[in-house]
């Protein structure tokens, strides 16, 4: 490569230009730390997980379970709290959808657009099933005693 440039310089065919002005730094990826879903869905998910712990903790109330239950609560709060803080970092210009926007537009996923109802079912199915399972286990334990 330098040989070609050297030949152009020697033959007088090379063109010397001024250095361009310093361009602003351009990031290839925009910092979009938003997950695309309304905050209410995340709140309902956290409520489902904590509701399961409340049902199981009160059904099997035992002082030995206090520390494990507290650890589970801390993990759930940290698991949803850290990403919530992450979306509020400087440089994040996006905001979560409101419930109205979510209902009107749905959400784009890797496999295509989902309607709001379908996306809400996918997000909330595990927490709801956990609460139902916790209630079923609590009822079974109460009947067996």
E strand or H helix that includes residue 114:
strand 112-114
3-state secondary structure of 119: helix
CA separation for the pair 22, 20 (Å, rounded): 6
Residue matched to tokens 């059904």: 59
Band of the pLDDT at 34, cuts 50, 70, 90?
A: confident
The tokens describing 12, both together, are 């007088």
* Per-residue confidence (pLDDT) for residue 21, from 0 to 100: 80
pTM score, two decimals?
Answer: 0.74
Q: Where do the structural domains in the chain lie, given as residue ranges?
A: 32-144
Q: 120: which residues sit within 8 A by CB, 6+ positions away?
A: 41
Question: How does the average pLDDT of the chain come out, rounded?
Answer: 86
pLDDT in tens, 53-102: 999 999 999 999 999 999 999 999 999 999 888 888 777 777 788 899 98
């Amino acid at each position: 490569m330098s040989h070609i440039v050297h030949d152009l310089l020697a033959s007088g065919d090379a063109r010397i230009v001024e250095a361009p002005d310093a361009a602003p730094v351009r990031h290839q990826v925009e910092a979009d730390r938003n997950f695309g879903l309304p905050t209410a869905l995340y709140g309902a998910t956290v409520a489902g997980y904590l509701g399961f712990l409340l049902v199981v903790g009160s059904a099997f109330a035992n002082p030995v379970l206090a520390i494990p239950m507290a650890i589970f609560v801390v993990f759930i709060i940290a698991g949803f709290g850290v990403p919530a803080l992450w979306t509020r970092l400087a440089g994040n210009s996006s905001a979560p959808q409101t419930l109205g926007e979510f209902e009107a537009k749905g959400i784009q996923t890797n496999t295509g657009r989902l309607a709001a109802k379908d996306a809400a079912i996918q997000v909330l199915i595990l927490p709801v099933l956990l609460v139902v399972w916790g209630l079923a286990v609590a009822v079974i334990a109460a009947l067996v005693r």
